[in-house]
Amino acid sequence: MESFLKSFRPLLMLPGVPGGEWGVTEWLHEQVKPHADEIRVDALGNLIAVKEGTRKNKHLMLLAHTDELGLTVSNILEDGLLKFKKLGGIDDRVLASRHVTVHGAKGPHDGVIGWIPPHLIIEPEEMKKVVGWQDLFVDVGAESADEASKMGIRIGDPITFKKHVSVLNRKLLAARAMDDRIGCWILMQFMKQLAQVKARVSAVFSSQEEIGLRGASVAAFAQDPSFAIAVDTASAGGFPMVPQALGSFRVGRGPVLRMVDSRMVASVKAKEFIVHVAEERKIPYQLGVAGGSTDAAAVQLARRGVMVCPVCVPLKYTHSFAEVASLEDIQNTLNLLLRVAEEY
């Protein structure tokens, strides 16, 4: 776990809300550049690294998104408090009292999302209500709009949530933004370890996935792959309150081949090929039906249509501030993707 954290933690800690992923992209660019035949960043912020193969009629694309859930400053009130808008699918239930960082023109500023204590609530029923994001605010310690402005804070500045990393039972990792920095780490290692391949391989570190799979849509049209794999996470069950219809796969039992989700049905031939490779190489895997979606949904509809099948690390407590994944699942996902690329 220690060696993994040494390489993963720097990537995890980089801020990267949708549209503000440049720091993540720059860091990955330096890591991947020595291992690519071609590398570039497009106008939407996608980092695209290519390894040329010997078969020009086959083009495998793998995608992992660089953005994380976050906020943006939408208004600065006269009393110095900041109103915000959500960037991505953040559950309002987990917002209140969070520590955040506001990335202003003069540098980052610590802040907190304010919360009314029970001591100041008159009606007990109010304590049972979920306060919507539109009624919350960020407190950076400014006492006026002018003071916030002098701090370098402006409308449109990104806001990220503070991150804390925990190791559970020496085998599970808990942190914020594991979705999808896990995928980025896997794809980075994939490019470093991939030997000579038959097919052309494109590794796309995509932008703006959390607000509509935007980066993947552009990258897929430009690269025009014949087969695409979204390297992402999938919301695992195995704890109370999860409906049986969506809780079939578990953390610690291998990567998930995401067969159906809210916006995609995976290609049967793609699934069969990946299953064949996994079973031949004795790599554990799971088949899953999930909510939400991945970059594969955007790639599938690009140009002439693309054969897709997401390969995901099972993740507990997705889009919370304590997402949990298994190191063994992460390693098995990397191994499976390397073998798939070698055989395609």
Query: To the nearest whole number, what is the mean pLDDT of the chain?
Result: 94
Tell me: the pLDDT tens digits for 255-303? Answer: 999 999 999 999 999 999 999 999 999 999 999 999 899 999 999 988 7
Give residue-wise pLDDT tens across range 26-53: 999 999 999 999 999 999 999 999 999 8
- Right CATH for 2-68+176-343 from 2.60.120.10, 3.30.365.10, 1.10.3720.10, 3.40.630.10: 3.40.630.10
pLDDT in tens, 205-219: 999 999 999 999 999
Name the pTM for this structure.
0.95
Residues of the chain with CATH 2.40.30.40: 74-161
Q: How far is CA 129 from CA 68, 121, 123, in A?
A: 27, 12, 11
Closest CA to 234 of 285, 272, 289: 289
Q: Kindly report, as residue ranges, where domains of CATH 3.40.630.10 are found in the chain.
A: 2-68+176-343
Q: Is 328 a catalytic residue?
A: no
Three-state SS at 199: strand
Q: Which class is domain 74-161?
A: mainly beta
Instruction: Using alpha carbons only, give the angle 292, 201, 204 rounded to the nearest 5 degrees.
Output: 40
**Burial of 247 (C-beta count, 10 Å sphere; 0-12/13-18/19+):** middle
Catalytic pick among 209, 210, 272, 328: 209
